[in-house]
Amino acid sequence: MQENNSCAPLIRVKTENVDQQDTPEGRFPDLKMSFLPLLCNHCSHPPCVDVCPPGALAKREDGPVILDKEVCDGCEICIEACPFDAILYNPEKEKAEKCNLCVHRIDRGLEPFCVICCEGQAIHFGDLSDPDSEVSQILTKKEAILLENPEGVEPSVYYCPPRAPRGL
Ligand code: SF4
């Protein structure tokens, strides 16, 4: 939480249990649970940017969609516009909040904090326009998918198929 100065209970990357909340699928010992992290998709054509009256949201040339808290007036219009439910309203600060892809780290040559703190090393970050980047290589090998999205939005977060289950 300290990395991005966020405050509980607002969570910028939600993790949803795909099947049933906190309930594994199947019969013991063949149990299975799937989780889906939901975050800002840093869309190529982000509707949140288009609708923001004070211009607090912007798409950077290198990809991240960032929200400037100093400029945000808390109108919440962006929250309605986001098809991925990725923007939150912070009632204490009376401002919108979202994942800024840790641009304060990227700009120092570091990876986003979710990448380094994921114990399963399941999150990868990089330049999809570079065919030699790690993320491009992963996409050529796996049948990754995008979340269902409105035409023209073009999300940038890909989901790889789940790994084979580990034995207990
Ligand atoms: Fe904006 Fe939502 Fe797309 Fe993120 S996922 S860039 S908040 S429209």
Q: What is the pTM of this model?
A: 0.84
136-155 pLDDT tens trace: 999 999 999 999 999 999 99
Q: Note the pLDDT of residue 30.
A: 83
120 Cα: distance to centroid of ligand 1 (angstroms): 25
On whether the CB atoms of residues 5 and 92 are closer than 8 A, the answer is no
41 Cα: distance to centroid of ligand 1 (angstroms): 6
Task: Report the SS3 class of residue 57.
Answer: strand
Q: Note the pLDDT of residue 1.
A: 47
For tokens 């991005």, the residue is 4
Nearest in space to 75 (alpha carbons), one of 99, 49, 94: 94
Q: Looking at per-residue confidence, does 148 or 17 come out higher?
A: 148
Q: Which atom of ligand 1 is nearest to the CA of 47?
A: 8
Q: Note the pLDDT of residue 28.
A: 86
3 Cα: distance to centroid of ligand 1 (angstroms): 21
CA distances from 28 to 18, 31, 32 (A): 19, 6, 9
For tokens 């969609």, the residue is 65
93-122 pLDDT tens trace: 999 999 999 999 999 999 999 999 988 899
Structural domains for the chain? 3-101 (3.30.70.20)
First to last CA, the chain: 31
Structure-block tokens of residue 95: 């401002």
Nearest CA owner, ligand 1 atom 8: 82
- CB within 6 Å of ligand 1 — which residues? 40-43, 46-48, 65, 82, 84, 86-87, 98
43-56 pLDDT tens trace: 999 999 999 999 99
Q: Note the pLDDT of residue 18.
A: 56
Q: Looking at per-residue confidence, does 88 or 34 come out higher?
A: 88
Least confident piece of the model among 20-24, 83-87, 136-140, 148-152: 20-24
C-alpha span between 17 and 162 (Å, rounded):
13
Q: What percent of the chain has pLDDT over 70?
A: 85
Q: Is the dihedral of CA 75, 7, 104, 65 positive or negative?
A: negative
90 Cα: distance to centroid of ligand 1 (angstroms): 17
Q: Looking at per-residue confidence, does 36 or 160 come out higher?
A: 160
Nearest in space to 120 (alpha carbons), one of 168, 53, 166: 166
Instruction: Find all residues with CB under 8 Å of 13, minimum gap 6, and list them.
Output: 37, 38, 39, 99, 114
Q: Which residue of 50, 87, 100 sits with most ligand 1 atoms within 8 Å of its CB, as the best mutation to test the pocket?
A: 87
167 Cα: distance to centroid of ligand 1 (angstroms): 37
